[in-house]
Structure 1
């Protein structure tokens, strides 16, 4: 029983880490590019950094949404199979 709980926690952490990396890394990269642009041009408009991050997030969710749902579905199937084996 303890091994199953450990397996579930490790798998949940792995899925969460994948989701975070898929969503956050492009937003961080776009924020860095916009920050460098703002520093170079001395434009200090808050929406200039917010709008590209939103567009990158929408693009990532459209492009990787099916992969993310497949990861979540695989995790759910593993957990369901473990529950059925009890």
Structure 2
């Protein structure tokens, strides 16, 4: 196993991690922006007001995207296990 193969696996792992984090982070970003906009319009400055909607939205995003996320990580793991003989031989 040479350094190019290690870098390839690392890049694939980072790409999978980015794909898995994207729905949750984008949901939190959009909801946080919407709540901040609402707070600035109404001049309500309550810290807990921004936390609860984000937490609920992230839970909903996990319920909606959870199956896809698990499928992606299991597929990546199977691909890594399938590569083990080729990596050890070369």
Stretches of 4+ aligned residues off by more than 3 angstroms: none
TM-score normalised according to structure 2 size: 0.89
User: Can you give the 5+ residue segments of structure 2 that lack an aligned partner in the other structure?
Assistant: none
- 1:15 matched residue in structure 2: 16
- What is the distance in 1 between the residues matched to 2:71 and 2:11? 18
- What is the distance in 2 between the residues matched to 1:71 and 1:6? 20
- What is the distance in 1 between the residues matched to 2:8 and 2:74? 16
1:50-85 deviation line (CA, Å, top 9, x unaligned): 000001110010000000001100110011111133
Matched, 1:42 2:53: no
Matched, 1:67 2:68: yes
Which one has the largest radius of gyration? Answer: 2
Aligned residues: 86
Bigger drift between 13-22 and 58-67 goes to: 13-22
User: Can you give the 5+ residue segments of structure 1 that lack an aligned partner in the other structure?
Assistant: none
C-alpha RMSD of matched pairs (Å): 1.0
